[in-house]
Amino acid sequence: MKLNIFSRIAKSFKDVWENRIILLAMIRRNTAGRYKNSYLGFAWHLLTPILMIIVFYITFTSIRPHPIPDFWIFLSSGVFPVSFLSASLRGRSIVSNANYITKMKFPREIAVIASVITDFLPVLFAYNLIVIVILLAGQPVNWYGMVMIPVMLAMMLIFCIGCSFLVSTVTVFVKDVGYFMAAIMRLVYWVTPTFFMLSDATGLLKDVVTYNPFTYFVEVFHDILYFGVFPHTEYIIICSILTASFFLVGSWVFFRYEKRFPEVL
C-alpha cells in the first residue's frame, strides 16, 4: 500500500496528542530509569556535559598557543547540541522498549519521541543556565539573536526525532547499526566545531566539517551566544532544510516498517 507521508504524519500528531499521558509516563520512566540508585539522579544529565566542558577547557587552553577568547562561552554554546544529537542517534528507543511494543497497543512513535525528549530536557535547562551566566558576566547580547534560541531548539528537536526514527527502525532489523552509530558518534566531537573555530579547519578536516550536518546547528548557537550576533541566514536555511529532510525521511522509514516491529522484536 502506498504511504502518503504527509497524511500519516498528520495522523501521528493526532495520535500522540491523544496518548500524551503515555508519552509523559514514558518520559518519566526513562528519566528515572537512567539514574536509578544514583545519588545525584537527573543532575548527571547536566553534569556530564559540564564535566566534558571543564576537561576540554583545561586541555585546549593549555595546548593552544593562542586560546580562543572567552573559550568557556564558545565551548558551552556548542557542546550541548552535539551531546543531544549524539544521544538521539543511539538508535535504541524501539529495541529497549520491546516489551511495550510487542504487548501493548499504542502509537509506536511515542517510544522514540519520549526517548528524544528525555535527552532534550537537559539541553533546555543548560541553555537557560548559559544565557543567565552570559548576562551576569556582562557579555554583549543580540536580543534578536536570542529570540532564535527557542526556534533553533525546536528545530533541533524535530531534526533529532527524524534521525531517531530512521536509526531506531534500522536497528530493529540490523542490531549492529546501534553499535556502529555509537562508535561514529564518539568521533563527532572531533569533526564538529565545538572546541575550534570553523575558520581554523583546513584540508580534509575542513571538508568533513563542511559536510557534517551538526556543524550548522552548532554554528547558529555560536553566532547567538559567543559572537553576540543574529545567526547567519545561510546557517538557518541549511538547518531548516536538514530538519525537514531528515524528519520526512525518518518518518517515512519508520511508518513504512513499524508494523513489522512486533514480529522482529
Per-residue pLDDT band for 249 (boundaries 50, 70, 90) equals very high
pLDDT computed for residue 45 by the predictor: 67
Mean pLDDT of the chain: 86
Q: What confidence tens digit (pLDDT) does each residue in 24-59 have? A: 999 988 887 777 777 777 677 667 767 877 887 787
Q: CA dist 99 to 23, 94, 164, 260, Å?
A: 16, 10, 19, 15
How far, rounded to the nearest angstrom, does the alpha carbon of residue 27 sit from its chain's CA centroid? 16
Nearest Cα to Cα of residue 148 among 244, 81, 224: 224
Neighbours of 162 (CB within 10 A): 26
Q: Which residue has the cell 541553555?
A: 127
Interior CA angle at 142 toward 137 and 143, to 5°?
100
In whole angstroms, what is the distance from residue 225 CA to residue 231 CA?
10
b/e code 11-24 from CB counts within 10 Å (16+ = b)? ebeeebeebeebbe
Which distant-in-sequence residues (6+ apart) come within 8 Å of 244 by Cβ?
A: none
In this prediction, residue 1 carries a pLDDT of 47
pLDDT at residue 122 above 60? yes
Q: How confident is the model at residue 165 (pLDDT cuts 50, 70, 90)?
A: very high
Beta-carbon neighbour count of residue 108 at 10 Å? 23
Helices (H), 89-213: 98-103, 109-136, 143-173, 176-188, 203-210
Q: Is the per-residue pLDDT at 179 higher than 70?
A: yes
| Residues in contact with 128: Cβ distance below 8 Å, sequence separation at least 6, in sequence order | none
What is the per-residue pLDDT across 219-246, written as a single tens digit (0 to 9) for each?
999 999 999 899 999 999 999 999 999 9
Residue 84 has pLDDT above 70, yes or no: yes
pLDDT for 252: 95
Is pLDDT larger for residue 114 or for residue 71?
114
Over residues 12-33, mean pLDDT: 91
The rounded percent of the chain whose pLDDT value lies above 70 is 95
By mean pLDDT, which of 41-45, 54-58, 192-196, 200-204 is the weakest?
A: 41-45
Note the pLDDT of residue 189: 79
Average of per-residue pLDDT across 171-199? 85
Rounded distance between C-alpha atoms, residue 94 and residue 246, angstroms = 18
- Out of 95-99, 109-113, 123-127, 142-146, give the one with best mean pLDDT: 109-113
The predicted pLDDT at position 234 comes to 94
Q: Is the pLDDT of residue 119 over 80?
A: yes
Which of 168, 178, 152 has its CA nearest to residue 242?
A: 152
Per-residue pLDDT at 184 exceeds 90 = no
Who contacts 214 (Cβ-Cβ below 8 Å, separation ≥6)?
81, 82, 85, 188, 192
